[in-house]
A = this chain, B = another copy of it.
């Protein structure tokens, strides 16, 4: 059984007067690295090139907020409305990031990784993308990173691809994303990559592993959660709830229930 008094870490090292992060003196990075560059260093263990750093920033910016609509923001604002402090409200929102919210980023990274690994030839990658699309259409499952309930297309995906092109740093994963899009189109589905799909391609192309995808989302969205919690605290009346007419009860009718057995309450 691992104990609490034996900790091992390759992330950071602290001794009096000194803090080292992934082999760099943290104080040296203050004022030199942007936060996005530091996030890249933390998750990959490597200091980013200038382009890698700029792409990491672009992904973090694209994911930082999407309004009140996200389940994580709703959970955070409801907690704030109940009078819980900032950190507890943000924790409620972070806990509300799940497979259906933020999870598509990691799912799309896995999918693109699989297609990329069928390369390096275009033809074999294209075939892998077609097979993946056929599988989804046959099984009726969603392709992670494609489509959006509001946006057709998702302007954040377009923005990320603009930056990829400006910096000239498109790689095999972004190509794989394009191949999936083409394959969907050839199957008569005009689904476009959403922000998760575009970010998945970018992150893989700058060397971030799929297991870390959800981490980028958490760091980015944490910023949105913080400001939504503060806005709720400062501007809204407490205790958000729902009007009774918005609730349908379809459980058993009390009239059909016998009283609880007498024995139960006689103890």
Interface positions of A (Cβ within 8 A of B): 1-39, 42-43, 45, 47-50, 53-54, 57-58, 60-62, 64-72, 74-75, 78-103, 149-153, 155-156, 158-160, 162-163, 166, 211-212, 214-215, 218-220, 222-224, 226-231, 234-244, 246-254, 256-257, 259-261, 263-267
A101 with B31: CB separation less than 8 A: no
Contact B79 A95 (CB under 8 A): yes
Contact A88 B95 (CB under 8 A): yes
Interchain CB contact under 8 A, B42 and A227: yes
CA distance A77 to B47 in the complex (A): 24
A97 to B180 alpha-carbon distance, docked (Å)? 38
| Residue of B with least CB distance to A266 | B267
Residues of chain B within 8 A of A67, CB atoms compared: 9, 11-14, 19, 247
Contact partner, A256, options B23, B98, B162, B265, Cβ 8 Å = B23
User: B214, A249: Cβ atoms under 8 Å?
Assistant: no
In the complex, how many angstroms separate the beta carbon of A193 from the nearest chain B beta carbon? 14
Q: How far is the CA of A250 from the CA of B236 in the complex (A)?
A: 13
- Given known contacts A2-B239, A223-B38, A246 and B16 CB-to-CB distance under 8 angstroms: no
List the number of copies, as a whole number: 4
Q: In the bound complex, what is the Cα–Cα distance between A130 and B131 (angstroms)?
A: 41
Q: State whether A158 touches B27 (Cβ < 8 A).
A: yes
Distance of A90 Cα from B84 Cα, bound (Å): 13
Task: Report the bound CA distance from A12 to B151 in whole Å.
Answer: 15
Taking the closest CB of chain B, its distance from the CB of A163, in whole angstroms, is: 3
**Subset of 17 A-B contacts with CB under 8 Å:** A2-B240, A4-B74, A9-B248, A11-B228, A11-B251, A14-B66, A16-B150, A17-B152, A19-B66, A32-B264, A69-B247, A74-B241, A84-B85, A85-B88, A87-B102, A212-B230, A218-B222
- Closest chain B CB from A139 CB (angstroms): 17
Contacts of A65 in B (CB 8 A): 11-12, 19, 21, 26, 42
Chain B minimum-CB-distance residue to A209: B230
Complex alpha-carbon distance, A102 and B86, angstroms:
12
Closest to A106 in B: B86
List the 8 shortest-distance A-B pairs measured between CB atoms, nearest first.
Answer: A267-B267, A23-B252, A83-B98, A32-B265, A83-B99, A84-B98, A31-B163, A10-B251
